[in-house]
């Protein structure tokens, strides 16, 4: 092996080692929680069956009550101080509506709640306290896991820290791939675990193969994670390569006028469905202030022959006019297309069940990489100390 290549490899090995030792534990947390979150909806329904699942009728979703009726039931059952933050449609014929809302407590701070409604009978199944305003952690299991994954339970500051860690971990994976690359062209050894190997060799091979078989997926997931946690910085970099890319500040806004009042989510949905009748409603977001827009997501749109066929529609909250439509068929810059794929890639939904399973397995590989990496480091330290002791114990030549 060329001496220069040896030096370069040793340099990248040291970078990989220290990035792994410093941030590998957090990679394990992100990986395990991320694997759980791949099946967020399914697990959430499994642990909350009384309020999140219903008995499907033979007519299935065609028997759902009109959204106007569901929305009226939700809003009339809530306190006048409650503020709706989102509405999730049933994901299938056995799921309930979920209405997210905030409610001021006795200290006038907003607690986070969810209300669940039977789509067939417009009956309230129950409500759950997700997080008290003065609580450090969410009280519900899946939101707790999400906050641990997204921000290490440290709020907005934690989200920024996690984004920075994702950048460093991205370099850790890249340096790992550089170190793994077989300079002697012995690809068979580099791609498998040696049978009947020693414990040391098995640990080395397990670390190596776990990294190489999940490395590409981890790179994609970490990159999209950077976008989720540091969106403005991420989009700023994308704009350097694709200058016409639109960011969050470029999104459409409603223009309030004297005498106009918001039309409400029901009419906004009617406006969207009149123009886009195909696909299933996924979720609806109300406007958060007087210049914001209603956002409505449609999924499984037949005309979109893409892996993740979601259409996101922005509606003026005063006129009901559709201001923007974003879906895979929309003409975009290369940068906007790249950004639009980040969420579906991060969740694995871009490639259906196969994508979700691959992201799930790559998340489980993270603690394996950390543990085997630490063991390998300790083995090398022990070997170096043994070698040094042997050298020190050898009689000196006179």
Q: What is the pLDDT of residues 15-38, one digit of tens each?
A: 999 999 999 999 999 999 999 999
User: Do 65 and 148 reside in the same domain of the chain?
Assistant: yes
Is 42 within the bounds of a domain? yes
Q: Does 397 reside within a domain? A: no
In a domain, 396, yes or no: no
Q: 252 and 225: one domain?
A: no
Q: Is the pLDDT of residue 259 over 90?
A: no
In a domain, 64, yes or no: yes
Whether residues 140 and 221 share a domain: the answer is yes
230 contact partners, CB below 8 Å, separation of at least 6: 160, 163, 164, 167
Per-residue confidence (pLDDT) for residue 398, from 0 to 100:
55
168 plus 222 within the same structural domain = yes
CB 165 within 8 A of CB 26: yes
Closest CA to 273 of 20, 80, 83, 66: 66
Closest-CA residue to 101 (of 138, 69, 130): 130
- Which pLDDT belongs to residue 334? 86
pLDDT of residue 165: 98
**Whether residues 136 and 235 fall in one domain:** yes
pLDDT number for residue 112? 97
Burial of 161 per CB tally in 10 Å (0-12, 13-18, 19+)? middle
Quote the tokens at residue 340. Answer: 């639009």
The domain total for the chain is 2
**The pLDDT of residue 2:** 60
Q: Give a yes or no: residue 16 inside a domain.
A: yes
For 83-100, what is the mean pLDDT? 97
My answer on whether 38 and 100 are in the same domain is yes
Q: pLDDT for 151-174, tens place per residue?
A: 999 999 999 999 999 999 999 999
Spell out the long-range contacts of 65-74 with Cβ–Cβ below 8 A and sequence spacing 24 or more.
65/119, 65/120, 65/121, 65/122, 67/266, 67/269, 67/281, 68/266, 69/122, 70/97, 70/117, 70/119, 70/122, 71/265, 71/266, 73/117, 73/122, 73/123, 73/124, 74/99, 74/115, 74/117
Residue 394 pLDDT greater than 80, yes or no: no
Asked if 170 and 297 sit in the same domain, the reply is: no
**Residue 3, pLDDT score:** 61
Region 38-52: mean pLDDT is 96
Say whether both 64 and 134 belong to one domain: yes
249 pLDDT exceeds 60?
Answer: no
Evaluate whether residue 15 is within a structural domain: yes
Question: Do the beta carbons of residue 129 and residue 103 sit within 8 Å?
Answer: no
Query: What confidence tens digit (pLDDT) does each residue in 280-296 have?
Result: 999 999 999 999 999 99
Residues 195 and 291 occupy one common structural domain: no
- Are both 190 and 258 inside the same structural domain? no
pLDDT at residue 103, as a whole number:
95
Closest CA to 77 of 107, 51, 93, 101: 101
pLDDT attached to residue 168: 97
Q: Above pLDDT 90, what percent of the chain?
A: 70
What is the per-residue pLDDT for 8? 82
For residue 257, the model assigns a pLDDT of: 82
β pairing state of 310-316 and 293-299: antiparallel
pLDDT tier, 307 (very low <50, low <70, confident <90, very high otherwise): low
In a domain, 337, yes or no: no
Q: d(Cα 383, Cα 387) in Å, to the nearest integer?
A: 6
Domain limits for position 138: 3-239+353-385
Q: What's the rounded Cα separation, in Å, for the pair 378 and 396?
A: 29
The domain that contains 324 carries what CATH number?
Answer: 3.10.450
Q: Please tell me whether residues 202 and 309 are part of one structural domain.
A: no
Q: How confident is the model at residue 350 (pLDDT cuts 50, 70, 90)?
A: confident
pLDDT band at 300 (very low <50, low <70, confident <90, very high): confident
Nearest residue to 301 via CA among 331, 277, 266: 277
Lowest mean pLDDT among 32-36, 377-381, 387-391: 387-391
Residues 37 and 185 grouped into a single domain: yes
CA–CA gap between residue 47 and residue 45 (Å, rounded): 6
Q: Who has greater pLDDT, 240 or 309? A: 240
Please state, in angstroms and rounded to a whole number, the distance separating the CA atoms of residues 93 and 63: 9
- Mean confidence (pLDDT) of the chain: 91
- Confirm whether 220 is domain-assigned: yes
């Amino acid at each position: 092996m060329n001496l220069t290549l040896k030096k370069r490899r040793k340099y990248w090995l040291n970078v990989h080692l220290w990035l792994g030792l410093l941030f590998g534990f957090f990679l394990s947390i992100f990986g395990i929680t991320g694997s759980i979150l791949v099946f967020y909806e399914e697990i959430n329904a499994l642990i909350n069956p009384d309020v999140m699942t219903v008995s499907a009728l033979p007519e299935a979703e065609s028997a759902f009550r009109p959204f106007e009726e569901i929305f009226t039931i939700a809003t009339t059952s809530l306190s006048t101080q409650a503020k709706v933050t989102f509405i999730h449609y049933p994901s299938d014929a056995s799921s309930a509506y979920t209405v997210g809302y905030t409610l001021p407590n006795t200290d006038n701070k907003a607690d986070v709640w969810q209300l669940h409604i039977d789509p067939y009978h417009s009956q309230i199944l129950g409500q759950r306290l997700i997080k008290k305003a003065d609580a450090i952690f969410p009280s519900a299991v899946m939101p707790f896991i999400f906050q641990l994954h997204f921000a290490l339970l440290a709020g907005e500051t934690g989200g920024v820290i996690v984004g920075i860690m994702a950048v460093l971990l991205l370099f850790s994976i890249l340096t790992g791939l550089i170190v793994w690359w077989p300079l002697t062209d012995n690809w068979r050894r580099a791609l498998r675990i040696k049978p009947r190997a020693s414990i040391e060799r098995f640990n080395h091979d397990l670390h190596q193969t776990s990294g190489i078989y999940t490395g590409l997926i981890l790179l994609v997931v970490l990159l999209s994670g950077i976008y989720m946690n540091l969106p403005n910085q991420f989009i700023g970099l994308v704009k350097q390569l694709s200058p016409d890319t639109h960011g969050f500040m470029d999104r459409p806004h409603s223009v309030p006028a004297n005498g106009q009042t918001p039309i409400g989510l029901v009419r906004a949905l009617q406006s969207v469905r009149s123009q886009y009748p195909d696909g299933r409603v996924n979720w609806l977001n109300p406007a958060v202030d007087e210049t914001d827009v209603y956002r409505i997501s449609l999924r499984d749109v037949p005309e979109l022959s893409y892996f993740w066929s979601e259409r996101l529609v922005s509606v003026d909250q005063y006129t009901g006019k559709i201001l923007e439509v974003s879906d895979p068929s929309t003409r975009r810059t290369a940068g906007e297309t790249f950004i639009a794929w980040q969420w579906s890639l991060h969740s694995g939904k871009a490639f259906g069940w196969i994508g979700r399973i691959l992201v799930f397995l790559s998340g489980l590989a993270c603690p394996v990489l950390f543990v085997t990496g630490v063991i390998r480091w300790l083995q090398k330290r022990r070997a170096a100390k043994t070698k040094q002791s042997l050298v020190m114990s050898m009689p000196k030549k006179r």
